[in-house]
Amino acid sequence: MNLSEVIRAIPDFPKPGIMFRDITTMLKDPAAFAECVNLLSDEFKNEKITKVVGIESRGFIFGAPVALALGAGFVPARKPGKLPAETAKKEYALEYGTDSIEIHKDALGPEDRVLIVDDLLATGGTAAAAIALVRELGATVASCAFVIELESLNGRAALGDCDAFSLLCF
């Protein structure tokens, strides 16, 4: 199955000049969604992943089933104020301003090998913040996995020494 054929391209969204890659068309197709999850998890089946960190919110959609397929736990990386227990927080730059993500401090430890999952690698700021948080909590980042990578935005540069895998590149 060619997954790029089930991802809808929407020109000029959310603003002129942007070609938005809409994953909802893949999600509503059970065979395509299953293929996506299988391809992501197959890439890391021999990496001894103990935890998958999914980045809010679309990283949850892919990260949770990948974690199940790998026999790993799932850890949500959330926007501030959404997690109930004590958190570690990392701020990152946006085009205009900053944002941040948080992970429960007790979610990861030195024994964990972590796969960070999100739907999209664009500029890499959110993924870089997740990498920093995982390392701050003492865990090892095995790799990052993305459904889509927008290569022209050079997001891999923001990931530093972290390996990354993308199913589709545009």
In degrees, rounded to 5, the angle at the alpha carbon of residue 151 between the alpha carbons of residues 164 and 27 is: 75
The answer to whether residues 69 and 60 touch, using CB atoms and an 8 Å cutoff, is: no
Look at residue 71 and give its three-state secondary structure.
coil
Q: Where are the alpha helices (DSSP H) in 5-157?
A: 24-27, 30-43, 58-70, 125-136
Alpha-carbon span 150 to 161, nearest angstrom: 19
- Which residues are annotated as catalytic? 58, 95
Alpha-carbon span 53 to 107, nearest angstrom: 10
Instruction: At 12, list the tokens.
Output: 């000029």
In this structure, what DSSP letter does residue 154 have? -
Query: 160 CB contacts (<8 Å, ≥6 apart)?
Result: 128, 131
